[in-house]
């Protein structure tokens, strides 16, 4: 029975990993895709704007 105890954790992790991948794949696209894309575009624009702001501390 030691072999069963040794195999259970890897099997459970494999099943959880497959479930995670399936969830990620299913959540791509669909009706929320445009909303997700807009959120990413806004975050990128904020990051780009913050990077390009001039330094105003008198160097």
The residue ranges of every structural domain in the chain are: 1-51
Using the predicted structure, report yes or no on whether residue 1 has a pLDDT greater than 60: yes
Residue that has been written with the tokens 């894309």 in this structure:
37
Q: How far apart are CA 23 and CA 35, in angstroms?
A: 18
Q: How far apart are CA 44 and CA 52, in angstroms?
A: 12
Whole-model pTM?
0.48
Q: How far apart are CA 18 and CA 23, in angstroms?
A: 9
Please report the pLDDT score of residue 49 as a whole number. Answer: 82
18-43 pLDDT, tens per residue?
Answer: 999 999 888 877 777 777 788 888 89
């Amino acid at each position: 029975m030691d072999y069963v105890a040794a195999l259970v954790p890897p099997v459970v992790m494999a099943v959880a990993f497959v479930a995670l991948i399936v969830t990620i794949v299913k959540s791509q696209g669909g009706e929320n895709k445009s909303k997700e894309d807009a959120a990413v575009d806004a975050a990128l624009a904020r990051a780009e704007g913050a990077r390009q702001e001039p330094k105003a501390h008198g160097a």
